[in-house]
Amino acid sequence: MKRPKIVINCAMSADGKIALPTKKQLRISCEKDIERMYKLRHDSDAILVGINTILSDDPKLTVKEKYVKNPHQPIRIILDSNCKTPVDALAVNTQAKTWIITSGKCNKKFKDNVEIIKCETDAEGLIDLEDLLEMLYNREIKTLLVEGGSTVIWNFLNNGLVDDIYVYMAPIIIGGSKTPTMADGEGIKSLDELINLEIVNVKRLGPGILFHFKMII
Ligand SMILES: NC(=O)c1ccc[n+]([C@@H]2O[C@H](COP(=O)([O-])OP(=O)(O)OC[C@H]3O[C@@H](n4cnc5c(N)ncnc54)[C@H](OP(=O)(O)O)[C@@H]3O)[C@@H](O)[C@H]2O)c1
pLDDT grade, residue 146 (50/70/90)? very high
Q: State residue 217's pLDDT score.
A: 81
Q: Alpha-carbon dihedral of residues 136, 127, 96, 87, nearest 10 degrees?
A: 150
Tell me the CA–centroid distance for residue 50 and ligand 1, in Å.
4
Closest ligand 1 atom to Cα of 23: 45
Residue type present at position 68: V
Measured in residues, the chain has a length of: 217
pLDDT (mean) for 67-74? 95
pLDDT in tens, 19-33: 999 999 999 999 999
Tell me the CA–centroid distance for residue 95 and ligand 1, in Å.
22
- Give the dihedral sign, CA 129/134/140/143: positive
Q: State residue 87's pLDDT score.
A: 98
Closest ligand 1 atom to Cα of 20: 45
pLDDT (mean) for 34-40? 98
List residues bridging with 48 in a β-sheet. Answer: 77, 146
pLDDT (mean) for 66-94? 97
Q: Around Cβ 144, how many Cβ atoms within 10 Å?
A: 26
* CA-to-CA separations, 5 to 2, 134, 152, 162, 180, in angstroms, rounded: 10, 12, 16, 8, 25
pLDDT (mean) for 206-214? 98
**Does the pLDDT of residue 1 top 90, yes or no?**
no
pLDDT (mean) for 74-90? 98
Tell me the CA–centroid distance for residue 67 and ligand 1, in Å.
26
Kindly report the average pLDDT of the chain as a whole number: 97
Domain ranges of the chain: 5-216
Closest ligand 1 atom to Cα of 129: 31
Tell me the CA–centroid distance for residue 55 and ligand 1, in Å.
9
Ligand 1, atom 7, residue with closest C-alpha: 149
Alpha-carbon distance of 102 to 132, in angstroms, equals: 10
Which 3 state secondary structure label does DSSP give 152? helix
pLDDT grade, residue 200 (50/70/90)? very high
Q: What CATH homologous superfamily does 5-216 map to?
A: Dihydrofolate Reductase, subunit A (3.40.430.10)
Model pTM? 0.97
Q: State residue 42's pLDDT score.
A: 98
